[in-house]
Amino acid sequence: MRFSKLRLNGFKSFVDPTDLLIADGLTGVVGPNGCGKSNLLEALRWVMGENRPKAMRGGGMEDVIFAGTSSRPARNFAEVSLQIDNSERLAPSGFNESDNLEILRRITRDVGSAYKTNGKDVRARDVQMLFADASTGAHSPALVRQGQIAELINAKPKARRRILEEAAGISGLYQRRHEAELKLKNTEQNLLRVDDVIEQLA
Ligand code: ATP
C-alpha cells in the first residue's frame, strides 16, 4: 500500500481543490510560515479517521472547514481524499479488490462526517480499522506533530507501549477486543433480565 495522492477541498486554508502528488522520492514540503504545511499533514491524519478536534488544532471538528477570509466566504463543507496505490495487493482483506483505493472523508456543517472507500459509504470505524491493520493511521508514529518528540521523551511507559503497539499493527485487535467485551457485557445483562422474567413467570 503506497499513498499516491492527497486531494483537499475546503479543508482549512485549502479552500480550492488542491492535489498533492506523493511521488517516489518526496522527502519534504517547504514554504513560508503559515502557508499550510502542517494543514497537509493534518488532512492526511483526518482522512484516516482522526476524531479528536485537538489533534487538528481546533475546538470542534467543524473547525477544519475553511472559515473564510476578508475576500472569500466561509465554506459549508470540507473534503479530503487519499489515493492509495494497491497494485501489490497489500491492503487488508475487504479492501483488497482493486489496484487503486480511494478513501474519502467529508464533513458538512451541522451534519458531521461521512466516509467512502472507492465510492461506497462506510463507517468511520471501517476506515480506522483499515489503517490500523496496515500499521498506520491517524495515530501512527510515522506522523510526528510539532512538540511530539518532547512528549515522547517525557511519556510514561504505558504511553510508550501504546506507540509500539500502533507500530506493530495490533491496535486494531485491541479495538476489536474492546468491542467484543462490550457485546459480552450487554449479553450478560440481557441474560440477567431473561432470568428475572423466568422467575416472575414461575
Ligand atoms: P509554520 O511553518 O509556521 O508551522 P505552516 O506552513 O505549517 O506554518 P499551517 O499551520 O499549516 O502553516 O497553516 C496555518 C494557516 O492555516 C493559517 O494561516 C491559518 O489561518 C490557516 N487556517 C487554519 N484553519 C483554517 C480554517 N478553518 N479556515 C481558513 N484558514 C485556516
- The answer, yes or no, to whether any atom of ligand 1 lies below 6 A from the CB of 60, is no
State the pLDDT at residue 59.
93
| 94 among annotated binding-site residues | no
pLDDT in tens, 22-54: 999 998 999 999 999 999 999 999 999 999 898
Burial classification of residue 93, based on how many CB atoms lie within 10 Å of its CB (0-12 exposed, 13-18 middle, 19 or more buried): exposed
The ipTM, to two decimals, is 0.95
Q: Mention every residue, 6+ apart, whose C-beta is less than 8 A from residue 152.
A: 160, 163
- The answer, yes or no, to whether any atom of ligand 1 lies below 6 A from the CB of 14, is no
192 is written with which cell numbers?
A: 440477567
- The answer, yes or no, to whether any atom of ligand 1 lies below 6 A from the CB of 170, is no
- The answer, yes or no, to whether any atom of ligand 1 lies below 6 A from the CB of 12, is yes
| 33 among annotated binding-site residues | yes
Write down the residue that cell numbers 519534504 correspond to. Answer: 28
State the pLDDT at residue 140.
77
CA 65 to ligand 1: nearest atom: 27
Nearest CA to ligand 1 atom 1: 33
Decide if 65 contacts 89 (C-beta within 8 A): no
Gap between the Cα atoms of 135 and 29, Å rounded? 24
Gap between the Cα atoms of 94 and 112, Å rounded? 25
State the pLDDT at residue 24.
92
- The answer, yes or no, to whether any atom of ligand 1 lies below 6 A from the CB of 36, is yes
| 169 among annotated binding-site residues | no
- H/E run at residue 185: helix 171-201
- The answer, yes or no, to whether any atom of ligand 1 lies below 6 A from the CB of 66, is yes
Run means of pLDDT, 10 residues per run, the chain, 202 residues = 95 97 92 95 95 91 96 97 92 86 97 96 93 79 79 87 79 88 97 95 88
Put residue 146 in one of left, alpha, beta given phi > 0 → left and psi -120 to 50 → alpha: beta
State the pLDDT at residue 159.
87
- The answer, yes or no, to whether any atom of ligand 1 lies below 6 A from the CB of 31, is yes
Amino acid identity, residue 131? F
Nearest CA to ligand 1 atom 2: 33
State the pLDDT at residue 165.
82
Tell me how far the alpha carbon of residue 36 lies from the centroid of ligand 1, in angstroms: 5
Average pLDDT taken over every residue of the chain: 91
Of 72, 81, 91, 82, the closest CA to residue 13 belongs to 72
Decide if 85 contacts 5 (C-beta within 8 A): no
| 186 among annotated binding-site residues | no
Residue 158: φ, ψ to 5°: -60, -40
Amino acid identity, residue 168? A
pTM score: 0.80
Tell me how far the alpha carbon of residue 181 lies from the centroid of ligand 1, in angstroms: 41
